[in-house]
Amino acid sequence: MYFGGDYNPEQWPEQVWHDDVVRMREAGVNLVTVGVFSWALLEPREGCHEFGWLDRVLDLLDANGIGVDLATATASPPPWFSAAHPDSLPVDAGGHVLWPGSRQAYCPSSPSYRAAAVRLARALAERYRDHPALRMWHVGNEYGCHVARCYCDVSAAAFRDWLRDRYDLPRLNEAWGTRFWSQEYFSFEEVLPPRRTPAVPNPAQALDFFRFSSAELLACYLAELEVLREVSPGVPVTTNFMAGLHWDIDYWEWAPHVDVVSTDHYLRAHDPEAHIDLAFAADITRGLAGGAPWLLMEHSTGAVNWQPRNIPKTPGQMRRNSLAHVARGSDGALFFQWRASRAGAEKYHSALLPHAGVDSRVWREVCELGADLRRLEEVEGARVGADVAIVFDWQSVWAQEQPGHPSVDMTVRDELATWHRALWKLGVTVDFLPAHGDFSSYPLLLLPSLYVLGETDRAALDFYVEGGGTLVVGAYSGVVDENDAVWTGGYPGALRDLLGVRMEEFVPLGEGRTVTLSDGSTGGVWRELGRTTTAEVIASYTDDGFRLAGSGSEGSVIGGSGGGFPSGDVPPGGGHDPWARHLAGAPAITRNEHGSGAAWYVSTRLDDASLRRLLARIAAETGIATPAPGLELVRRSHPDGSTYLFAINHDDKKDVALAESGTDLLTTKDFPGTVPAGGIAVIRQRPEAG
Ligand code: GAL
C-alpha cells in the first residue's frame, strides 16, 4: 500500500530536505513522486545536465527507506527551451499562442519538444536506472491537462499526415460529409485543424481532430516509454491519468501502454455528493486497469487552489476519500503534494505537510492515515468484483458535445454520472468497459449514453443480448456511426432492431421542464416520438405533468450533475407544453426480448428516484441485489477467497449498523457491529473452511 505524494524538494533549501525525510518516516510515507516539474534545474541549458541535487535527494530518500516514483521531468519545458524553439509553443483554436510563464507550454506534435523530452528521459534513465530508491518511472504529468489540442501549423501538418494514413481524399470527403456547406477538399494541403470558424465547424472533422490530438499526446508518452524500456528494462512505467475529471484523452487507447494505471482525483468541494463522483472516477480507473488494482497518484488532503471557492475537507473526509479509492481498487493513496509551497500559483493548495507545520489537524490526520494504510497491507492486490458494467467511450463524449445537437442539456458525461450515481445509491458496484470490451461475465450491461456506435460494436451488443444478457440503453445512444453520420431509417439506428423500437423525432424539453410517465416516473431534458416494433411498452409519455421546476419563466436548469428535478407547481401562465398531447401514449420505456436476453430502452432522462426504481427492477429481474445500505459498501477479494468489505459511512451524524461478520482491520473490532458516523470499517471475511 503506497502512501505519499509529489515531492518537490527543489522548492526548498537543502536543510529542509532533512526535516522532510524525518517527517515522512513519522507519517509512514513510502513513495514520493520526484522531479515532475524539474526540467529547468536538471537541464539549465540545452544538453547540459545537472543531476547532483537529484542524486542527493534520491540518496537521502533511499537512506530513509522511501521509494521514488521518478518523473522524466518533461511535463513543462523551461523558458530557455521555448525561446530556442518558438514553434514548439501551443496555439489555441483562435490562433493565440499560449506563452511560457506557467506550465505545459508545448505543442504535442512539436518535433523539437519530443526530441528534447526523449533526450532528457534517456539521460535520467541512464543515471538512475539502478538507483535503489527507484520504484517506477513517471512519464510527463497529466497529459493534456492544459493543452489537450494544439491548432498551430506544426499540428496542422501532423494532422494531415494522420489523415493520409487513414483516408484517401475521396474517402476523407465522404467521411467528413464535406458536400455540406461547400467544404469539399481537392488536396490534403487544404485541410486544417478545426480552428475558430464563422459558424459551427464540421463535426466529423472535429471528431477526427480530437482523436488525432489524443493520439499525438500518446505518441509523446510512447516516445519516452520506448527509451525507458530500452535503458531501464523491468522498472514499471506509469503516467498519471485524469479519469472522470478531464475528457480530452481516450484512455482506452492509453491504458495498455502503462504498467501501473494511475490517476489523479480532486474532489468538487461544493458538491454534497462529491464522494459519489469520487467513486465514479475510481470505477472508471479500475476499468482502465482491466479490473486489476491501480494507484491513486494524486488527490488532496484538503482544499485545492483552482476551484471558485476552495473549501478544505472536513475532519475525517480525507481519510474517507483515501480509503474509498482503496476500496475501489487503488493499492495506496498519494497526494499532491508533500509540503505546501511558499511561492507560486499553487501556494494555497493543501499538502500533507501544511503551512502550519506539524502542529496541525491536517498533519495529525495524515499520520493517522499512514497508520491505517499499514493496517490494510494484506488488501494489496485484491480485486473488486462487479455484476454490472457501464459501457462508454470518449468518442461519444467528443462527438456529442459538439455544437448543433437537439439539446444542450443532454451530455454523455451527465448521463454516465447519473446512471452511476443511481447504482451507487442502490449499493451496486459497477465496472466500466469500452464498447469493444468483454461483456460475457456481466449479467447486466448499461449503455447510458453511447452516441457513437459502429457496426462491429453494434454486433457485439446484439450477440451479448442474444446470448442471455440484459442490456439497458439510455436515450441518444447508437445514433451515429464512427464518422458522426446518422444511422437513418428511425432512431436509434444502430440499436433499433435490438431494442424493438423505431423513433422518428427527438423532442427535447424546455429548460427546467419535466414529463410524467404512465408508471409515475418523472423524466426531463429529452423525449422521443416513435413506436415499438417488437418491444413491450413498460411506460409511456402522458399528456400531463409538464411543469416548470422552480421559479422564473423557464425554471431552474435540470440536467447537469444535480440530484434530480425539484418538482414545482405550475406557475401562472406556464406549464403548457404544446407537445404534451402529441406525445401522450407514445413509448417512453420499453423492453424487448431478443434471443435469450432482453434489451431495455429509456428514451427520456429519468430523474434520480425514477432511474433508481427502474434499475432496481431490472437488477432484480437479473438476480442482482440492490441493498441500498446507507453505507458505501465495496468488496475486494484475493484469489484464495479472502475478502475485505469496505464499509464507509458518509453521514457525519449517524452511526450505521452493519450485519456482516468479520474483523475490522482498522480497529480489530468484530462485526456485526456499527460503523460510526463519518467512519470506516474494513472487514476481513475469510472463506468458509472446506
Ligand atoms: C494536478 C497536477 C499537480 C497539481 C495539482 C493541483 O492536476 O498534476 O501538479 O497542479 O493538480 O490540484
Q: Is 452 helix (H, G, I), strand (E, B) or coil?
A: strand
- Taking the CA of residue 141 as reference, the ligand 1 atom at the shortest distance is 8
Residue 430 DSSP one-character state: E
| DSSP result, 664-676 | ETTT--EEEEEEP
- Taking the CA of residue 145 as reference, the ligand 1 atom at the shortest distance is 7
Q: Quote the ligand 1 centre to 68 CA distance (angstroms).
A: 18
The Cβ of residue 164 has, within 10 Å, a number of other Cβ atoms equal to 13
Q: Quote the ligand 1 centre to 150 CA distance (angstroms).
A: 21
Catalytic pick from 216, 298, 365, 482?
A: 298
- Interstrand relation of 388-391 and 430-433 (parallel, antiparallel or unpaired): parallel
- Which tens digit of pLDDT belongs to each residue from 372-388? 999 999 999 999 999 99
Nearest protein Cα to ligand 1, atom 3: 336
- Which tens digit of pLDDT belongs to each residue from 155-189? 999 999 999 999 999 999 999 999 999 999 999 99
445-454: b or e for each residue (b if 16 or more CB lie within 10 Å)? bbbbbbbbbb
Q: Quote the ligand 1 centre to 624 CA distance (angstroms).
A: 39
In the numeric block, the cell 465495496 is attached to 634
- Which tens digit of pLDDT belongs to each residue from 542-584? 986 555 444 333 333 333 333 333 444 444 445 678 898 899 9
Nearest protein Cα to ligand 1, atom 9: 336
CB of 574 closer than 8 Å to CB of 593:
no
- Interstrand relation of 470-474 and 522-524 (parallel, antiparallel or unpaired): unpaired
What integer pLDDT is reported at residue 543 of this predicted model? 86
CA distances to 25, 35, 51 from 10, rounded to whole Å, are: 20, 8, 12
Nearest protein Cα to ligand 1, atom 12: 304
- Distance, CA of 688 to CA of 667 (rounded, Å): 23
Q: Is 4 helix (H, G, I), strand (E, B) or coil?
A: strand
Residue 467 DSSP one-character state: T
**Known catalytic membership, residue 298:** yes
- Interstrand relation of 237-238 and 134-138 (parallel, antiparallel or unpaired): parallel
- Taking the CA of residue 306 as reference, the ligand 1 atom at the shortest distance is 12
- Taking the CA of residue 304 as reference, the ligand 1 atom at the shortest distance is 12
Q: Quote the ligand 1 centre to 280 CA distance (angstroms).
A: 19
Q: Is 37 helix (H, G, I), strand (E, B) or coil?
A: coil
Catalytic pick from 142, 216, 482, 632?
A: 142
What is the mean predicted confidence (pLDDT) over 614-639? 95
- Distance, CA of 653 to CA of 667 (rounded, Å): 20
Pocket residues: Cβ below 6 A from ligand 1 = 141-142, 145, 264, 266, 298, 304, 336, 346, 349
| DSSP result, 102-169 | SS----TT-HHHHHHHHHHHHHHHHHHTT-TTEEEEE-SSSTTSS-S---SHHHHHHHHHHHHTT--H
What integer pLDDT is reported at residue 41 of this predicted model? 98
What integer pLDDT is reported at residue 220 of this predicted model? 98
Nearest protein Cα to ligand 1, atom 4: 336
Does the pLDDT at position 198 exceed 60?
yes
Q: Quote the ligand 1 centre to 265 CA distance (angstroms).
A: 9
CB of 69 closer than 8 Å to CB of 136:
yes
Give the containing element (helix H, strand E) for 645: strand 643-648
Nearest protein Cα to ligand 1, atom 11: 336
- Distance, CA of 565 to CA of 558 (rounded, Å): 6
What integer pLDDT is reported at residue 162 of this predicted model? 98
Does the pLDDT at position 329 exceed 70?
yes
pTM recorded for the entire structure:
0.95
Rg from Cα positions in the chain: 26
List 502's β-bridge partners, or say none. Answer: 531
- Which tens digit of pLDDT belongs to each residue from 627-681? 888 999 999 999 999 999 999 999 999 999 999 999 999 999 999 999 999 999 9
Q: Quote the ligand 1 centre to 298 CA distance (angstroms).
A: 8
What integer pLDDT is reported at residue 578 of this predicted model? 86
CA distances to 514, 564, 611 from 549, rounded to whole Å, are: 7, 11, 18
Q: Quote the ligand 1 centre to 302 CA distance (angstroms).
A: 13
What integer pLDDT is reported at residue 689 of this predicted model? 62
What integer pLDDT is reported at residue 687 of this predicted model? 80
Q: Quote the ligand 1 centre to 639 CA distance (angstroms).
A: 35
What is the mean predicted confidence (pLDDT) over 483-511? 97
- Which tens digit of pLDDT belongs to each residue from 7-23? 999 999 999 999 999 99
